[in-house]
């Protein structure tokens, strides 16, 4: 029995949730996958999965074996990469995740410079407004906004940013400037649901909480569109400071209700702890950190 192959197949079955899905992932006939799992269970003299018509669920022994197999296969992959020189010379694929707006406007220009400086490194830049699972999604490094949970990841802090309520001066002259969150009830709002509900905006000042019913004249799926709409005079929006700082400096947008906003929060790179830090990741961090700190409006 090829134990490493058997481990890979069992791991694929556990991650895919079924023999057929694992077979497609491994590009291996279903019968072969089923036989390999059965052979391994016979060798171990224990059942690794509870089988049903809907899915395969690991047994207690299966969960312990899968966790160990994941560690062993990761160590083998790491050792092979080290032997191939990946830890000595920056080369290979680097998978990076970042929030859409932050990645597009600030990280991507630096990535372009990095690619020119390191021709043997290829980058897959995934821009998504969610916290990806680095291990499950095979991400090397992620750019994160906000306080990080105790996830076991290594965090390298870039700086801090904040949220800001803002509107076009022309709009405020015609509709009035809100002095408290309650004043927003009579205004037209531009809402980005991950930050504020389209029907109820929330604020805090000290220990006082505000929940303000609002009318969202426009609901958008990305913050760039919210900022564009505010600059066009449609209404009031909330965004991260790095997206509107230049518009505020130029007078195109006016910040509002700053005393009711939450405190600043960190911007960081995060990556999984590793016995060896690949040269491509070390080179990326060394190259990118000082440039982002110099360009990012925080």
Q: What is the pLDDT of residues 26-35, one digit of tens each?
A: 888 888 888 8
Q: Domain 92-162+265-295: what homologous superfamily? A: Periplasmic binding protein-like II (3.40.190.10)
Q: What is the pLDDT of residues 37-70, one digit of tens each?
A: 888 888 888 999 888 766 788 899 989 988 888 8
Calpha distance 250→5 (Å, rounded)? 61
CA atoms lying within 13 Å on the CB side of residue 160? 6
Predicted pLDDT at 212: 92
Given a cut of 60, is residue 23 above it in pLDDT? yes
Given a cut of 90, is residue 101 above it in pLDDT? no
Phi/psi at 270 (nearest 5 deg)? Answer: -130, 145
Q: How many residues does the chain have?
A: 298
212 touches 185 (CB < 8 A): yes
The pTM for the full model equals 0.64
Which architecture does CATH list for 3-83? Orthogonal Bundle (1.10)
Given a cut of 90, is residue 204 above it in pLDDT? no
Selected residue with higher pLDDT from 4 and 253: 253
Q: What is the mean pLDDT of residues 116-121?
A: 94
Predicted pLDDT at 296: 65
Given a cut of 90, is residue 217 above it in pLDDT? yes
Q: What is the pLDDT of residues 220-232, one digit of tens each?
A: 988 899 999 999 9
Predicted pLDDT at 86: 55
Percent of the chain whose predicted confidence (pLDDT) is above 70: 94
In the chain, ranges of CATH 1.10.10.10 domains:
3-83
With H, G, I as helix, E, B as strand and everything else as coil, classify residue 278: coil
Predicted pLDDT at 141: 94
148 touches 270 (CB < 8 A): yes
How would you classify residue 224: left for phi > 0, otherwise alpha for psi between -120 and 50, otherwise beta?
A: alpha
Q: What is the pLDDT of residues 165-182, one digit of tens each?
A: 999 999 999 999 999 999
In the chain, ranges of CATH 3.40.190.10 domains:
92-162+265-295, 163-260
Given a cut of 60, is residue 87 above it in pLDDT? no
**What is the fold, at CATH topology level, of the domain defined by 163-260?**
D-Maltodextrin-Binding Protein; domain 2 (3.40.190)
37 touches 16 (CB < 8 A): no
Confidence of residue 257 (pLDDT cuts 50, 70, 90): very high
């Amino acid at each position: 029995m090829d134990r490493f192959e058997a481990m890979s197949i069992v791991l694929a079955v556990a991650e895919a949730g079924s023999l057929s899905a694992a077979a497609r992932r491994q590009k291996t006939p279903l019968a072969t996958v089923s036989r390999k799992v059965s052979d391994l269970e016979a060798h171990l003299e224990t059942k690794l999965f509870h089988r049903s018509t809907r899915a395969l669920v690991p047994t207690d022994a299966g969960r312990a074996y899968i966790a160990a197999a994941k560690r062993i296969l990761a160590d083998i992959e790491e050792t092979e990469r080290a032997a191939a020189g990946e830890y000595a010379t920056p080369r290979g694929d680097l998978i990076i995740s970042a929030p859409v707006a932050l990645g597009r406007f600030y990280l991507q220009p630096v990535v372009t410079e990095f690619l020119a400086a390191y021709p043997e490194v290829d980058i897959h830049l995934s821009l998504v407004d969610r916290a990806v699972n680095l291990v499950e999604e095979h991400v090397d490094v992620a750019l994160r906004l906000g306080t990080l949970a105790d996830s076991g990841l290594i965090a390298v802090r870039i700086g801090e940013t904040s949220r800001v309520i803002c509107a076009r001066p022309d709009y405020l002259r015609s509709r009035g400037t809100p002095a408290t969150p309650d004043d927003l009830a009579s205004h037209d709002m531009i809402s980005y649901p991950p930050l504020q509900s389209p029907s109820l905006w929330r604020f805090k000042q000290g220990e006082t909480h505000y929940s303000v019913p609002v009318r969202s004249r426009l609901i958008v799926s990305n913050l760039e569109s919210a900022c564009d709409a505010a600059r066009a005079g449609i209404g009031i929006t909330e965004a991260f400071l790095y997206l509107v700082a230049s518009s505020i400096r130029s007078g195109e947008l006016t910040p509002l209700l700053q005393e009711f906003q939450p405190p600043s929060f960190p911007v960081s790179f995060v990556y999984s702890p590793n016995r060896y830090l690949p040269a491509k990741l070390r080179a990326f961090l060394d190259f990118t950190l000082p440039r982002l700190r110099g360009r990012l409006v925080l």
